[in-house]
A and B are shown apart, each in its own frame.
Chain A
Amino acid sequence: MATAVGKIKLTRSDLMGAFWRYIWLFQCGWNYERMQSVGYCYTILPILKKLHPDPEEFKKRFLGNLDFFNTNPVVGAPVILGGHIALEEAGASLETTEGFKVGLMGPLAGVGDTLVWGIYNSIIMSIGASMALGGSVLGPILAIVLVFFPYLGVRYWQFFWAYRQGTSLVASLGGGIIGRVTEFATLVGLTVIGGFAVSIVKLAVAWQPAITTTVAGKAATTTIAIQTQLDAILPLMLPVLVTALAYWLLKRGWSPIAVLGVLFAIGFIGGAIGFFG
């Protein structure tokens, strides 16, 4: 840990600056490789710059915060950002802040997606849509109003709440807690990823070969549902295998673009010939 870290204090305008960066561009540049990583890094970058005057440390943090990140952008992301800024200000190491992000993003993605998209939006949009179908312009206007104010308010509140919580947690427990927090967040993160990864990665065998046999002098055709057989051995076997393949290739030093090419080829060719579906 660099010596100067933990001594520099953030002002309210630093925090507001980060908050507005989050508002304007948080998910821009979203891609399959690292998802929200560039938007996350964009949000936090002026904070990193201010807290790490040493150029080498700043570069390390800049690069470190470009790693894979994805969570719900409305309920979830502001909590992680606010908490991360507090940890950063308290002088946490890059490993700690990454462990914190990774540990929270999966669980908050689950909570946020259910609350925001699944419940809240479905209610306001179904009311808005039925009013619109009745010919009333109030339908979409009501939906917009019920998005604009609550979304902005809930994001602002989470961001500053998490920042205050993070600051007081570190202040009350002292610096020694950081190592434990890292370990805790890493282990929770690994457990969640074990389920999260296979819930998102989708691959199944669609091919059902037909085998014609002669039974007692009569031709009988049976189709074999390969996916059902695979499920009996290990559910979600193919998502596990493609994720393991990608992990193994990356470990062997393959570039992410090359791995992307391999995965695309498997999916596209397999889907095109009807083997996967």
Chain B
Amino acid sequence: MNIVYAIVLAALAYYAWWDILGPTFTLAFRPLVSGFFAGLIVGDVRTGLLIGGTLELMALGVYTYGGATIPEYSVGAILGTYFGKTQGFAVGLALAIPAALLLTQVDVIQRTLNFVFVHRADTYAEAGDQKGFDRMMAWFSHMIWGFSRAIPVFLAVAFGQPIVQAITSFFNTYPWIDKGITVAGGVLPALGFAMLLKIMPVQKYPAFLLIGFVLFAYLKMPLVGIAIAAVAITLVYMSIKYRTAEA
């Protein structure tokens, strides 16, 4: 019976992430929703509501802004509900939180591994192969995200509480792994921005880049404010530049 729960709950974890990557129909990556679904599956909706609701209030307003990594509360809610049903709410919650934090590290790694898809995509583009690209997108593009959640859920449910505690104590014994991955997760978006800057005329217009930097770094301006200022500065620049042409 454990193995059936392990498979169905792993499928739920997979669905939760495909949902936010794609259709965003149920927002199942939020612990309120994934806890509820897990409760329906294990036949204990009440525990699902309590675990999911508790985690949701902890995670309120916590989202992956700009691709930042956050605790994996949906997996926490699924495992918390499963273990909470048999061993009580307190045990479920006590397991849900470390599980959510542990999976944060897995998330940094899987977000990196997904680069295989962009490189495959480049190859398809060079060959003009739309069919191959479409096939990759439809069948494989969500797999690393999905399985990075589904496999831990499967293992935890199939092998039970000892495996979760063993992994947690491993990371507690070697905190440097955790710290290293967290810092690396903050540095990696630099590559994305560097790729973007490479295709833009940075050397021709360095002043605009500097203005944006100063507005954020010194004036702590929110991005919307920077965007409005950017429009204003560009309007001024362009009206001066094209004045003679329009006169």
Contact = CB atoms under 8 A, between A and B. Distances in A.
Interface string A229-241: 0000011100110
A25 B181 contact: no
Contact of B224 (A27, A29, A114, A189): A114
Given A31-B111, A133-B54, A68 B25 contact: no
B60 A126 contact: yes
B25 A122 contact: no
B213 A31 contact: no
Nearest to A62: B125
A70 B66 contact: yes
B88 interface: no
- Do most interface residues of chain A lie in helix, strand or loop, or is the interface mixed? helix
B183 interface: yes
A24 B20 CA distance: 10
B120 to A, nearest CB: 9
Most-contacted residue by chain A among B119, B192, B230 (CB, 10 A) = B192
Most-contacted residue by chain B among A26, A67, A242 (CB, 10 A) = A242
Interface stretch (A166-174, A214-222, A253-261): A253-261
B208 A27 contact: no
Contacts of A260: 112, 115, 188, 191
B33 A140 contact: yes
Contact of A194 (B46, B186, B198, B208): B208
A153 interface: no
A140 B183 CA distance: 34
B137 A194 contact: no
Contact of A110 (B23, B196, B222): B222
A273 to B, nearest CB: 7
Given A28-B18, A37-B118, A66-B121, A107 B238 contact: no
A243 B230 contact: no
Interface string B116-127: 011101101111
Contacts of B30: 121, 125, 143
A31 B201 contact: no
A32 B138 contact: no
A264 interface: yes
B196 A193 contact: yes
A209 interface: no
30 contacts: A27-B21, A29-B117, A30-B67, A34-B115, A39-B137, A41-B133, A42-B134, A67-B195, A67-B199, A113-B65, A121-B61, A126-B57, A140-B36, A147-B26, A147-B27, A186-B205, A187-B234, A191-B212, A192-B226, A193-B196, A194-B226, A195-B215, A201-B189, A203-B187, A247-B202, A256-B115, A260-B115, A263-B184, A264-B184, A271-B183
Interface of B: 18, 20-27, 30, 32-33, 35-36, 45-46, 49-50, 52-54, 56-57, 60-61, 63, 65-68, 111-115, 117-119, 121-122, 124-128, 130, 133-134, 137-138, 141-142, 145, 176-177, 179-202, 205, 208-218, 221-224, 226-227, 229-231, 233-234, 237-238, 242
Given A27-B20, A132-B32, A203-B186, 6 more contacts: A59-B128, A111-B224, A187-B205, A246-B193, A250-B195, A267-B188
